[in-house]
Amino acid sequence: MITVSDITKLADVHRSTFYRHYRDKFHMIETLHADGTRKGLSSLLVATGHPVAPYRYVAALVEILEHFAAYKRLYHALLVHRRSTWFEQWLHARWTESIHQLYNGPSPSAPPGTSGALVELRTRITVETSLATLKWWVQGDCSLTAEQLACWYARHMLNGFARTTMSCPSGAH
């Protein structure tokens, strides 16, 4: 498990400075994540039940990714530390909750009688893809800007991989 000592060494911050701002590493993560992603997630959740214009989706993603870029060393340590999976599990749970809320709203494009299973599947695909993309980005040299990554990601998520590579049999939407 990654420790406060690991975090302060990686961030080049003294332990007393850390504890002046945070109770523990969990409080730090909750605070940073909430502050850094609140506006972007709010932009997406405000549109729940309504189609999100691609530019709004990309702008919201850029805000979230800029937060991760600003704290790249910290998130890199938390996502790739060989002894720690708690942060990835924590992030997975937070994103699942937010994305589920986004998908669970009434959707004008959902087929009639769509069950909760479709919402669960869409949520799972989005969360897993988002986390894999984020890990890839913070593990690398961030050669893509937040805006470039957001545009690339949105293009694939909004268009839908299946829609661009294959067609479904009639009735299987």
Q: Residue 86 — very low, low, confident or very high, per pLDDT cuts 50/70/90? A: confident
Alpha-carbon distance 173 to 165, whole Å? 15
pLDDT, mean of residues 92-101: 84
Angle at 43 between CA 28 and CA 110, to 5 degrees: 120
The secondary structure of 50-101 as a DSSP string is: SPPPHHHHHHHHHHHHHHHHHTHHHHHHHHH-TT--HHHHHHHHHHHHHHHH
How high is the pLDDT of residue 89? 87
For 15, the token pair is: 């332990």
State the CATH architecture for 28-165. Orthogonal Bundle (1.10)
Residue 86 has, within 13 A of its CA and on its CB side, a CA count of 9
Q: What is the pTM of this model?
A: 0.73
- What local confidence, expressed as pLDDT, does residue 19 receive? 94
Residue 123's region, left for phi above 0, alpha for psi from -120 to 50, else beta, is alpha
pLDDT digits (tens, 9 = 90+) for 30-81: 888 888 777 776 666 554 445 556 677 788 888 888 888 888 878 887 887 6
Q: What is the pLDDT of residues 130-151, one digit of tens each?
A: 888 988 888 886 688 999 998 8
Decide: 83 and 103 in contact? Cβ < 8 Å.
no
Task: Give the pLDDT score at 23.
Answer: 93
Q: Per-domain residue ranges for the chain? A: 28-165
